Amino acid sequence: MSSELTEPGPGPAGAAPTLSEVAKRAGVSSITVSRVVRMPDLVAPETRARVERAMRDLGYVPNLVAGALASARTNSVGVLVPTIANSIFADTVQGLSDKLEPLGFSVILAQSRYDAAREDRMLAALLSRRPEAIIMVGSPATEDGTRLLRNARIPIVETWDLPANPIDAVAGFDNYKAGVAVAKHLVAQGRKQLAFIGGDDPRGTRRWFGFRDEALAGGLAEPRRLILDRKDSGSVAAHARLPDVDAVFAANDAHAIGFMSGLRKAGLLRDGPASAQPVAVIGLGDLEMGQLISPTLSTISANSSGMNTSCMRRPVAKNSTQAVSVTSSYGLGSMNTMAIDAPASHTSARCSASTPDGADVNDWDVPAIAA
């Protein structure tokens, strides 16, 4: 089966569940199913519940493209992100648009707002537009969401993570190993009192687990974990809640920058080399803002451009390796880049890195730390 999302062409083999299949499963007529979709108040509650259950079981999504034939191409790709308020995901959407539009595809954008129920609704809304593919940050949060995507019979790409049981294609990195790599470096730098700040979403939680496990393996006490509200980062004031820490891993750059602002207000942020900083701070995302502040932010760069390129096609090789680079400045001493290898069972995006002197680093062969 062709996996290229390169230019409009024939759709994938198979077809999405039909209204007739729902009717057969629910033991009702097709007209009744249509009424449940369009005029649910006209259908008896018990019958409506039976039809809705059949729709969920089959992963059926009503087609809102009025008058479109089942075989018609929409030349659109659905993209689901947690939020575009975070510039990491805004950049992801921009990068996908830049790659897709020259190929004749338009992007249909939806946001989950980190809400599982809303995510399911947004997936259904995207699928109702009959896109050629769905690209999403992370993996579905619920079984219903997973069922919708598995039954859609179109290319599905999960990004920014490496799920244990991917639906179709994956373009991401190992969030657990990202946490391991950061903790390992901080331990090597002699930091003793570690902390993690961020939300409680699945990707952030895996970063926390890796960070915690490696710190414990290095002989340190369990790092403190401070969960921040997404609506109010709280990162600026977080230092007051984390007394005596000497290193912080923030789940994303926005939290890291906020935390550094709090350190500055407390008189704990100094000019000079990383080794001179009372508290080391490492973020994730490589936001441009992190390089505009002083001292500049140390961050894990997942190379979203590389992931975006990989999202344009389904995987064709099953044993590729993902390298995620960490660009060093504040809090990481002399380290320039760090690579995190993905499990060989996944196909993932190819990422690259460069050292501060501008030298390119081969992403497939990068060692754990390249100085």
Average pLDDT over residues 333-360: 30
In 3D, which of 358, 296, 362, 271 has the Cα closest to residue 323?
362
pLDDT at 248 exceeding the cut of 90: yes
Distance of CA 163 to the CA centre of its chain: 11
Average pLDDT over residues 359-369: 24
**What gap in Å lies between CA 313 and CA 259, rounded to an integer?**
38
Question: How high is the mean pLDDT of the chain?
Answer: 76
> Hey, which residues does 281 pair with through a beta bridge?
248
**What gap in Å lies between CA 36 and CA 141, rounded to an integer?**
26
Question: What pLDDT, on a 0 to 100 scale, did the predictor assign at position 305?
Answer: 53
- The 10s digit of each residue's pLDDT in 86-129 is 878 888 898 899 999 888 899 999 999 989 999 999 999 999 98
- Ordered domains of the chain (ranges, CATH): 1-16+61-154 (3.40.50.2300), 19-60 (1.10.260), 175-370 (3.40.50.2300)
Average pLDDT over residues 271-287: 83
How does residue 74 score in pLDDT terms, banded at 50, 70 and 90? Answer: confident
Question: What pLDDT, on a 0 to 100 scale, did the predictor assign at position 315?
Answer: 30
In 3D, which of 161, 269, 260 has the Cα closest to residue 210?
161
pLDDT at 28 exceeding the cut of 90: yes
**What gap in Å lies between CA 277 and CA 268, rounded to an integer?**
7
Helix orientation angle between 116-128 and 143-152, rounded to the nearest 10 degrees: 20
Collect all residues with Cβ–Cβ distance below 8 Å to 164 and sequence separation of at least 6: none
**What gap in Å lies between CA 349 and CA 41, rounded to an integer?**
47
- The 10s digit of each residue's pLDDT in 196-222 is 999 888 889 999 999 999 999 999 999
Question: What pLDDT, on a 0 to 100 scale, did the predictor assign at position 157?
Answer: 93
Whether the predicted model's global pTM rises above the 0.75 cut? no
Question: What pLDDT, on a 0 to 100 scale, did the predictor assign at position 350?
Answer: 31
Question: What pLDDT, on a 0 to 100 scale, did the predictor assign at position 361?
Answer: 24
